[in-house]
Amino acid sequence: MTAQERRHKVRDISVRLLQGGKGETLIYLHGAAGMPAWLPFFDALAARHAVLVPEHPGFGASDGPAWMRNVGDVAMYYLDFLDEMGSERVHLVGHSLGGWIAAELAVRNSSRLASLALIAPAGIRVKGVPTGDNFIWSPEEAARNLFHDQTYAEKMLAQTPTEEEADLALTNRFMAAKLGWEPRWFNPGLERWLHRVPVPTLVLWGAEDKFLPSRYAALWGERVPGAKVELIGECGHLPHIEQSGATAMKILKFLESVAVKPKRPRARRTP
């Protein structure tokens, strides 16, 4: 499938956006490494949904307003984004930093959400379970620690980015630090408010995640009412890449379970 790339402006902020597929709207919020290329994972979701992949403000080629200083600000921006779109049933999928943004959005206002799928989300902290320090890792350590299957890491390390790609990666790293450096990848308040997520929620986690350990998944399951937690085997921090088929399948199955069933006409009881 070919995705469309365009710019999208909400209030005074213009962001880059990838778009593909038809159906109910599904918005994918990317992680700290920035907006990925259109992935096979998106193709799988786009078979049944209108998939939108916005590049967060401050990342890549999107506008980066100075006032956007924390993940709460980004979540409020996406509430504006949803209002402007006007859809009443949006499926929100967020990975890592994107999962954190999605959760912050959902506890603030979930009136336009139909469901929430979080893939190895940042945003909360489990005491005594240290996360990886992505800001101290060398590029090689980062590649190796993000994947379980090291052939993915080798492939990533074998690529030499163009100057433009390197510049975008640096921009993304700056914004990632702005949002996630301190406290490292979490908001101490978020865990207290996760009971306010009223929509069906799926939490997916790579069982071998070396950045945000899969032990975090259980706490999400405890805090978000009715959340379904599933681990994905032989998988690191990027399930949508390393196990894209299994990850897409689990999300599609979940989305099917929350789909609005066509109402059967009720037999009228005659008095």
Residues within the interface to another protein (CB under 8 A): 135-138, 166-167, 170-171, 173-174, 176-178, 181-184
If the CB atoms of residues 67 and 128 are measured against another protein, the closer one turns out to be 67
**Termini Cα distance of the chain:** 55
If the CB atoms of residues 111 and 135 are measured against another protein, the closer one turns out to be 135
If the CB atoms of residues 70 and 111 are measured against another protein, the closer one turns out to be 70
Q: Tell me the closest approach of the beta carbon of residue 29 to another protein, in angstroms.
A: 20
If the CB atoms of residues 34 and 200 are measured against another protein, the closer one turns out to be 34
Q: Tell me the closest approach of the beta carbon of residue 96 to another protein, in angstroms.
A: 16
What whole-number distance in Å separates Cα of residue 39 and Cα of residue 126? 31
Q: Tell me the closest approach of the beta carbon of residue 167 to another protein, in angstroms.
A: 7
What whole-number distance in Å separates Cα of residue 201 and Cα of residue 13? 29
Q: Tell me the closest approach of the beta carbon of residue 226 to another protein, in angstroms.
A: 35
Q: Tell me the closest approach of the beta carbon of residue 179 to another protein, in angstroms.
A: 9
Structure tokens, 136: 């101290």
If the CB atoms of residues 180 and 239 are measured against another protein, the closer one turns out to be 180
Q: From edge to edge, which strands make up the β-sheet containing 201-206? A: 4-10, 13-20, 49-54, 24-29, 90-95, 113-119, 201-206, 228-232
CA 151 and chain centroid, separation: 24
Burial category of 247 from C-beta neighbours within 10 Å (exposed 0-12, middle 13-18, buried 19 and up) = buried
**CA 137 vs CA 30, 132, 174, 210, 214: distances in Å:** 20, 9, 15, 12, 20
